[in-house]
Structure 1
Amino acid sequence: MKKNYLLLLLLISGSVFSQATRSKIQTYLNANLTKLELTSADVNDWIIESEATSESTNIHNYYLKQRHQGIEIFNAVANVWVKNDEVINIHNQFVPNIATKVNTTTPTLSVLEGLFSAKSLLNITSPNTNTILETKEFKNFRISNNSEDEITAELVYQLTQDNQLRLAWDYVIDIPGHQHLWHVRIDALDGKLLEKNDMVISCAFGENHNHSASCSSLVETTASVNLFKETTSSLLEVQSGSYRVIPYNYESPNHIARQLITNPHNVVASPFGWHDTNGAVGNEFTITRGNNVHAQDDLDGNNGTGTSPNGGASLNFDFPYGGTSTQPSSYLNAATTNLFYMNNMMHDVWYQYGFNEVNGNFQRNNYGKGGVTNVFGDPVNADAQDGASLNPQNLNNANFSTPIDGQSPRMQMFLWNVAAPIEPIFINTPADFSGPRQARDNGFSPGNVPIPIAPAMIQSNFVLYDDGTPDVGQTDNADGCGPAVNAAAISGKITVIRRSTSEANGGAPCAFIEKVKNAQNAGATAVIIVNNVPGVISMSGADATVTIPAVSVTQEVGEALIARMKLETVNGKIQLGEAPFINADGDFDNGIIAHEYGHGISTRLAGGPGNSSCLNNYEAMGEGWSDWFGLMMQLKSGDVGTTPRGLATFSLSQPTNGTGLRSYQYSTDMSVNPLTFDDSNEPIPADPANTGYRYVIGDFWATVLWDLNWAYIQKYGFDSNVYTGTGGNNKVMRLVLDAIKLQPCNPGIVAGRDAIIAADQATTGGQDYCLITEVFRRRGVGLGASSGNNNNSGDQVESFVAFPPGPNCTALNTDSFEKEDLFKVYPNPTNGLLNIRINNFIGKASINVIDINGRTVYSNVNSDFNTESSINLNNLSSGMYIIKVTADTTTYTEKVLIK
């Protein structure tokens, strides 16, 4: 569907606000030129690009865009706070002395010539010629594109690293399949690339983690559950329908059985239900489409018209799901239904905390409540099983792109092929060697023969292959690269073959499938291939004449097996206890869906709904907010902060208590998650395509926000009413969203902390100031901590210095957080001798030292403690450790560096 982007830009730029407010802002700018380090010429040409409001802070945010002779300066944004019709603060990012820095006001390259350069630099090939569809003045253009959405172009100034303003063409270019939505600036004089940002935020991690055993499946219930349905609305006759899904506050089918949930919509956020678009009682759609989201499959990965399950007039979306051992096509309707449900839940829940129409939320119809409106609206386009029918498939990923208010974002959910380890090999005899062994199935296509499923099996003695040719670095002839000279012994037996040494080093004396075929020709019933280097083997190949199963084992498992076979007869079987894994579907991973939707929330709120470029800096915390959104959606009564929480364990085929996607599980226990501010440092990558720094920053930011949530719950309690509750969890949800609105464009972690402090001050008068500052101090973002340059992911400096106490600090319960005036570990860093002090404490204490892998490397339990004690750790290797001290019912932790 084509969209009039230029019209939307004009709608946003022309946002209505009083001339009196504009005059007050101008007066404030003029009166603070020295403080802002600007000249009068720097502040005499600006527009309101975007606005945001908060009912809790009563602050109205105006995001000013600086211009020079009518041409906008890219991301020169000032966030002006207005309260009670007075300017109370400004986060200024205007460029000073612009008149001395601009190179020209007239482009040498036309908008189409610049686009040609941009597409060439981005390696975009297109069969058709781009044409201008609409021009506004001399600087805004709509241009035809081969994908769904048109290209937008605007003449802007780009601030360069040498602090100069280069005239540039600013393009937003969608590519087929929506794997990238490029926002790129091209020099308007010479066509060089000045900067590029990908508005599609991808989260592909499947191949970078170790995976443990899979979880058992759960039986689904036939009961119908009504979750948080409000009963006081005048629209009680509105029906959202019934959906068999994973309840929003559980992560996946491994955490709870799917349930049939009836009427889950919230009448404040979705007053006409989830299938309405016209604002009148009665549904316009009986498929997974409505005001907030359109969920459909995108099997061919082209963002075209896919299929959506139909619930009929009764809106009954009850479809079967066969689990990870069934073909994804067999449960597509169930997957799309869960995707629709979870997107709507994210919409309805976070609406309560300030992500509403006026603040740029995702709706086709804003029901007259503000925000940008147009005929198309901006509901989420949610694509289920994206690219599942492609060859190769789109796998192990999820992404979300967020254009400005009035333009629909897109969520793409993929299949995941990260299988949990299987144990298809079982040794029967000898008895002292018996038991299961892990292995990996092959990826031959064609040529993959399924491993038998119990009660079927292949059982025999194991025989080592012998092709008569000595292998490099080995004393046997077992690499299977030639015909077997011991075919008589192999016939009817399970055969063990080595991976060739040269093959492990990058050579290719023969392919895996050739080894299997040679064994098959000798009469083998199955093949086990042993790796010659640590780790597992991914065996690929193609031969339709292969008729026997083949698996690979690690070097450790295989060498032990071969050594025993050379001593005596080894007998075993190849068999699976259940159907083999095919795919996990991200559409059932509520944690990933919430994470992706969270990118949309943070992007729309940061810099205001009219700017999608205020989280593009190298220290941006977008991944952290998104992890936190996912964690907050899964809170339940009885949860505790110290419990380790992994993200995306279902998609990664991990158990429910698995590590998940991140370096550490989320936990307030610093022996589980020891991250401090210093750990957020990651060098700026040489290759812009390497986005690993985002997750280093995000890991830390989500860790602190998760700590903050539990500090609030400790103080105010937990409320399971996610819509109108008054618990600590509800308070922190609103606090964080308010803070995103208050922070500057492209903030660093310290600015994010300060925005949270400011949001509390505006809302409660600083009632929770000491709670907030102590949570941040505990993780190294104390007084004096520095983000350095917000556009540098590697220059953060931590500080554990406490903030000056505020008037409400006595309200803080510090039982689960160490306080510097109570607990101190010094010197730090240390050469080994460490002093531990707990002021005014005499009694029994336990001291444990944990390394970064979670292992206890020193322990002294229930020893006598009198205010201070010393321990000697000079036997430990240099590195980072966690000191954990338990005295009575209080636990103190500290991060210590041994030099």
Structure 2
Amino acid sequence: MKKNILFLLFLIPFYAFSQSNREVIQQYLTTPSAKSIISNRDFNDWVIQSEGGTTTSGIQNCYVIQRYQGIEIFRAVSNFSLKNTKVIDVQKRIVDNVSQKVNATNPTLLATDALVKAYFHLGITTNTTFSVLDKLGSHKFRISNGTGTEEPVIGTLVYHQAKDNKLVLAWDFTIHTPVHDHLWSVRIDALNGKLLEKNDLVVSCSFHQEQAFSVTKKSQIENLGATPKQIYTGPSSFVPGGAYRVIPFNFESPSHGPFQLISNPSDAKASPFGWHDINGQVGADYTITRGNNVWAKDDFKAANIDDGASPDGGVELIFDFPYGGTSVAASSYINAANTNLFYMNNVMHDVWYQYGFDEASGNFQENNYDRGGKAGDYVNAEAQDGSTAVPPSLNNANFSSPVDGNRARMQMFLWNRGPEIKPLIINSPSSLAGNYVATQNSFSPGRIDLPIAPQFLQSDLVLYLDSSGGTSEACVTPSNKTALNGKIVILRRGSCNFVTKVKSAQNAGAIAVIVVNNVEGNLSMSGADAGITIPAISVNNTIGEDIINQMTTAPVNVKIQTQSTPFVNADGDFDNGIIAHEYGHGISIRLTGGSNNSSCLNNTDQMGEGWSDWFALMMQLKPGDFGGAKRGIGTFVSSQSPAGLGIRNYVYSTDRANNPMTYAFTNNFQSFDVNGVEETSVHGVGSVWATMLWDLTWAYINKYGYDNNKYSGTGGNNKLMRIVLDGIKLQPCSPTFVDARNAILAADQAITGGKDYCMIWEVFAARGLGVNATAGSTNVGNDQTEDFTRPSTGPNCSLTVVDVNNPNVMSIFPNPSNGNITVRINNYSGTVDMKVVDILGREVYSITKEDFNNEKMFNLNQLTPGIYIMDIKGEGLNYTEKIIIK
């Protein structure tokens, strides 16, 4: 079971001006406080994996990986937070009884032999043998990839944590697939070559809605209290150079606001030499959409190589290109798409830099300007990715983020979710007469626009009869070719691709095609055939079969005609919300578990999708917004109005009538694949987390106001942006909702001294993430338990009876004790008065105005064995407990 493992530890300072972080941690591990939670037997072999991630409050996070005989235990990454040469925070992911769990210490398979097994399991073919290029450590190798891709394979000998709690010796590989559609992290048994686990580090956001069920009460609607002007506010200090016609970052899409020509949008702190620099000297190094933070280019064929075209702004860096809208071919406005993609990636880099996603924390930059971290890892942002591939890439976006120093990749796709249209008009018979919903195809090439009124196509329908099989699927030549000539032809889905069906009917003389779905729901037809010259639409199974049945008794006369400009595609490159969402994956991946580990957000109930939605929402806050409003994600690419539902089950809103989700909803996003393996929808789980963060956002805005300056403002939104990023840095590897909540509380404690402790608890508890909420197992998706208990402990609150009886809030241990007793009061920082009296009421020990920071050990060795009463008082604190000295 997962436990509340957020420990804010008060320790005596270590007076050593030149101590390394390793020395500080090692010395801490010898203290009684550390020994009470960490066994030296299990944690005597460890190494700091990364030590960036300094928070805005000055806490440096050291991400320590546990080893056994020099071999790393995969994902056993604990976060030791240091300040002023002392450990002040530990979030552990330590495996106990290691020696009893390991199955071997020496591999049977060499790294290259295991890589052959990995490629087999992943379905990757190669005609060359693998060779070790470099030895990166005693158990780590750089290996040729055998596929011709630029990136080598990284192989590391590790212990894999199996579900039966065994530690299996394994080879861990990081593998780029040939077209970069996957970045696999895979573990292969080092003894027998079996596949133990695989995780795709390409976070693919196949945006769709998952079902969940729950109800709760309506909450109060908040309002900014500002005039409803929608204002674009850029950085307070910028680097001269560059103008970009784009959708301003605080507008989600062309549906939400107009394009503007924005000049000098780069921030001087985050991008000191502008957006087109890489050498750290004044003057642009590129005049295309390329620079230190991102290279935006097209990738029509999903080739994922560096030959995609980027628009050129000339020496004046003027990127002013027209956008043709959703009714023209997307390739006609690729320059505008790349410009917006370049702009939004850079804005995300610059804004979140202010809150701690900087070089030392593993951000994405080609040149780190000597400010820490590893360089060489700008974002490859690919516009209209795979739009001319066969089949085309549609209705998606993704982001891959390997470890610091390795380039990230963002792929933005076209979307074919057009607005609902009724181009199918049945004239007769009267029993079917009316206008019906139908879906236009997305063939590319091969899409022929429907006739726009007053133009139309009309005829009696003819059913395509296959020359064999007794079917009507148009995968073979027709037996009724003569009857099809000059007619609108209806046929069924199945057995072959859509362009084959349409081409078969066209070759028989058809003037248009209607394809009937063979399952319930609407049908989206994709494919490519430049030889198609007639329009083709699809209808759902119900209306399609009704039409075919009617045709057996009487002719069905139809007209195909649309009343509006035809929809071709929506381009994700203009959806700033989706771009921010994807970039947000890079932030949460690099900050969780440290920038040298990309595998800390692969657990079942992690919140990566939730942080990403929240990043998008925070970027688009404007004066006049209010918490109770409906905020959908992806309404533009879904061809919905800005007030639409978007691509989640619920809109984001503090109004429970609009969004009823609570922590228990996370148990409702499970399904089973074809092999019976349980899967959890990370998008559904993430939406619950984003709901909680959105509530917290409005709690902060209500208390501190809203500041439209996203870069350096002082409003409640700015305060929370800082706290959330610090919280991501403070949380452990494979975090749960409980871990992330506790990390936010810890960040507030570190930044403000716990000023908003009560408010944070109130918000989380209201959505079911209260004191007694439990997260269950990290790799089981439906074992969470919600709780609405609200604690009130902290420097600005009073400790209640419920709280002091709850070990998650307050505990004294060990009890009984040999004399050294530790008092822990989670998230309490201040001074305390403490006294101990015997059973006759005589005071035997006292201390006043003692500095206290969440936990402290008291030495009571001088007391004789017996029963005593310990009394602790502080601001809002009055607690008494019986203790036993042995």
C-alpha distance in 2 between matches for 1:327 and 1:807: 60
2:346 to 344, 347, 353: 344
Hey, what does 2:270 align to over in structure 1? 269
* Pairing 1:662–2:648 present: yes
- Could you tell me how far apart the structure 1 residues matched to 2:271 and 2:723 are? 23
Matches within 5 A, 1:74-85: 74-85=74-85
What secondary structure, in the 3-state scheme, does the structure 1 residue paired with 2:395 have?
coil
**Aligned partner of residue 361 in structure 1, secondary structure:** coil
Change (3 A) 1:716 1:809: farther
Per-residue deviation, residues 525-556 of structure 1 (Å, max 9, x unmatched)? 65666668753355689999986545444466
Change (3 A) 1:325 1:97: same
Q: Deviations over 1:848-878 (max 9, x none)?
A: xxxxxxxxxxxxxxxxxxxxxxxxxxxxxxx
Aligned to 1:892: none
| Distance in 2 separating the partners of 1:562 and 1:123 | 42
Instruction: Supply the distance in 2 between the matched residues of 1:436 and 1:36 (Cα, whole angstroms).
Output: 73
Distance in 2 of aligned mates of 1:528 and 1:166: 55
Q: Tell me, yes or no, if structure 1 residue 259 matches structure 2 residue 247.
A: no
Larger deviation, residues 801-810 vs 183-192: 801-810
- Give the aligned partner of residue 611 of structure 1: 597
Q: Do the aligned residues in 2 keep the contact of 1:107 with 1:189 (CA within 8 Å)? A: yes
Provide the alpha-carbon RMSD of the alignment. Answer: 3.8
Measured in 2, the distance between the counterparts of 1:507 and 1:259 equals 46
Deviation at 1:651, TM superposition (A): 1.8
| CA–CA distance in structure 2, aligned partners of residues 196 and 637 of structure 1 | 45
The CA distance in 1 between the partners of 2:34 and 2:775, in whole Å, is 24
Query: Shift in Å at residue 516 of structure 1?
Result: 5.2
User: Alpha-carbon deviation of 1:456?
Assistant: 2.6
Task: Please name the residue that 1:891 is paired with.
Answer: none
Closer/same/farther in 2, CA of residues 128 and 578 from structure 1, 3 Å limit: farther
Residue deviations 1:109-143, cap 9 Å, x none? Answer: 11111111111122111122221111245422111
Q: 1:450 to 1:690 in 2, by over 3 A?
A: farther
Query: Is the contact between residue 427 and residue 572 of structure 1 (CA under 8 Å) also seen in structure 2?
Result: yes
- Unpaired runs of 5+ residues, structure 1, are 1-16, 210-224, 473-479, 811-899
Q: CA deviation at 1:437?
A: 3.4
Q: Is 1:799 matched with 2:787?
A: yes
Task: Indicate yes or no: 2:745 matched with 1:757.
Answer: yes
Separation of aligned partners in 1, 2:252 and 2:529: 40
- Rounded to whole Å, the distance in 2 between the matches of 1:538 and 1:183 is 32
CA contact (8 A) 1:206 1:652 kept: no
Three-state SS of the structure 2 residue aligned to 1:400 is strand
* 2:460–2:558 Cα contact (<8 Å) kept: no
- The alpha carbon displacement at 1:788 in A equals 0.9
Q: Which residue of 2 aligns with 1:182?
A: 184
Any unmatched runs of 5+ in structure 2?
Answer: 1-16, 212-230, 470-476, 799-886
Shift of 1:592: 1.0
Residues 227 and 20 of structure 1: CA distance in aligned 2, closer, same or farther (over 3 Å) = closer
- 1:791-818 deviations in Å (ceiling 9; x for gaps): 22111001112223545369xxxxxxxx
1:404 and 1:612 in contact (8 A); partners too = yes
Could you tell me which amino acid in structure 2 is paired with residue 104 of structure 1? A
User: In the superposition, relative to structure 1, how do residues 689 and 593 fare at CA in structure 2: closer, same or farther (>3 Å)?
Assistant: farther
Q: Which residue of 2 aligns with 1:124?
A: 124
1:37–1:96 contact (8 Å) kept in structure 2: no
- 2:423 paired residue number: 424
Match 2:234 to one of 208, 216, 228: 228
In 2, the alpha carbon distance for the partners of 1:303 and 1:539 equals 25
Partners of 1:176 and 1:197 in 2: CA distance: 17
Structure 2 CA distance, aligned partners of 1:302 and 1:294? 15
Aligned to 2:870: none
Instruction: Give me the whole-angstrom Cα distance separating, in 1, the residues matched to 2:114 and 2:526.
Output: 44
Partner-residue secondary structure (3-state), 2:648: coil
TM-fit CA distance, 1:317 = 0.8
Distance 1:467 1:350 in 2: 58
Higher relative contact order (CA 8 A, sep 6+): 2
Q: What amino acid maps onto 1:766 in structure 2?
A: G
Aligned to 1:113: 113
The code of the aligned residue for 1:309 comes to P
| Residue 388 (str. 1) matches residue 394 (str. 2) | no
Task: Compute the displacement of 1:622 (Å).
Answer: 0.5
Matched, 1:402 2:436: no
Q: Is the 8 A contact 1:206 1:397 kept in 2?
A: no
* Counterpart AA for 1:230: S
Offset at residue 567 of structure 1 (A): 13
In the alignment, does 2:772 pair up with 1:784?
yes
Superposed CA deviations along residues 646-681 of structure 1, whole A, max 9, x for unmatched, are 111222222222221111111111111111111111
On the 8 A contact 1:170/1:184 being kept in 2, the answer is yes
Determine helix, strand or coil for the equivalent of 1:422.
coil
How far did residue 98 of structure 1 move?
2.4
Q: Normalising to structure 2: TM-score of the pair?
A: 0.77
Tell me which amino acid in the other structure corresponds to 1:439: A
> Which has the larger displacement, 619-628 or 384-393?
384-393
Structure-2 separation of matches of 1:677 and 1:129: 49
Q: Which residue of 2 aligns with 1:476?
A: none
2:356 counterpart residue number: 354
Which amino acid in 2 is paired with 1:608? G
Q: Which residue in 2 is equivalent to 1:673?
A: 659
Paired residue secondary structure (1:176): coil
Shift, 1:454, TM fit: 3.5
Distance 1:561 1:766, change over 3 A: same
CA contact (8 A) 1:293 1:381 kept: yes
Residues in 1 aligned to 2:23 and 2:524: alpha-carbon distance in whole angstroms = 67
Point out the more displaced range, 390-399 or 311-320. 390-399
Q: Cα gap change, 1:263/1:370 in structure 2, threshold over 3 Å: closer, same or farther?
A: same
Secondary structure of 1:708's match?
helix
Alpha-carbon separation, structure 2, partners of 1:541 and 1:80: 52
Cα distance in structure 1, aligned partners of 2:35 and 2:511: 81
- Aligned partner (choices 672, 694, 697) of residue 682 of structure 2: 694
Match of 2:248 in 1: 247
Q: Secondary structure at the match of 1:277?
A: coil
1:513-524 aligned at under 5 Å gives the runs 513=502
Instruction: Show the counterpart of 2:754.
Output: 766
Alpha-carbon distance in structure 2 between the residues aligned to 1:399 and 1:735: 26
Q: Summarize deviations over 1:132-187 as a string: whole Å, max 9, x none.
A: 11124542211112211011112222222232322222211111111111112222
Counterpart in 2 of 1:200? Answer: 202
- The answer to whether the 8 Å contact 2:446/2:531 transfers is yes
Following superposition, the deviation at residue 703 of structure 1 comes to: 0.7
TM-score, with structure 1 as normaliser: 0.76
What SS does structure 2 have at the residue aligned with 1:42?
A: coil
SS of match in other structure, 2:175: strand
Letter in structure 1 aligned against 2:354: Q
Question: What's 1:13 paired with?
Answer: none
User: Larger deviation: 331-340 or 64-73?
Assistant: 64-73
Greater mean deviation of Cα atoms: 37-46 or 532-541 = 532-541
Contact 1:226/1:263 (<8 A) preserved: no
CA shift at 1:27, angstroms? 2.4
Letter in 2 for 1:764: T
Q: What SS does structure 1 have at the residue aligned with 2:423?
A: strand
**Contact kept? 1:36, 1:92, Cα under 8 Å:** no
Q: Distance in 1 between matches of 2:496 and 2:321?
A: 49
2:388–2:444 contact (8 Å) kept in structure 1:
no
Q: C-alpha separation between the residues in 2 aligned to 1:777 and 1:161?
A: 31
What is the rounded CA distance, in whole Å, between the counterparts of 2:334 and 2:676 in structure 1? 35
Residue equivalent to 1:334: 336
> Which aligned pairs between 1:810-829 and structure 2 lie closer than 5 A?
none
Alpha-carbon distance in structure 2 between the residues aligned to 1:733 and 1:545: 53
The percent of aligned pairs where both chains have the same amino acid is 54
Q: Deviations over 1:252-273 (max 9, x none)?
A: 1122222111110111111111
- 1:73–1:158 Cα contact (<8 Å) kept: yes
Q: Are residue 40 (structure 1) and residue 72 (structure 2) matched?
A: no
Q: How far apart are 1:565 and its partner, in Å?
A: 11
Task: List aligned pairs for 1:535-546, cutoff 5 A.
Answer: 535-537=521-523
Q: 1:160 to 1:526 in 2, by over 3 A?
A: closer
Q: Any idea what the Cα deviations from partners look like across 1:712-733, whole Å, max 9, x if unmatched?
A: 1111111101111111111111
Determine the structure 1 residue equivalent to 2:562: 576
1:355 shift after superposition: 0.7
Q: How many residues align?
A: 753
How far residue 275 of structure 1 moved from its aligned partner, in angstroms, is 0.6
Question: In structure 2, do the counterparts of structure 1 residues 495 and 719 end up closer, same or farther at CA, with 3 Å as the change threshold?
Answer: same
Q: Which residue of 165, 173, 176 corresponds with 2:175?
A: 173
- Give the counterpart letter for 1:738 in structure 2: D
Structure 1 equivalent of residue 220 of structure 2: none
Q: Secondary structure at the match of 2:573?
A: helix
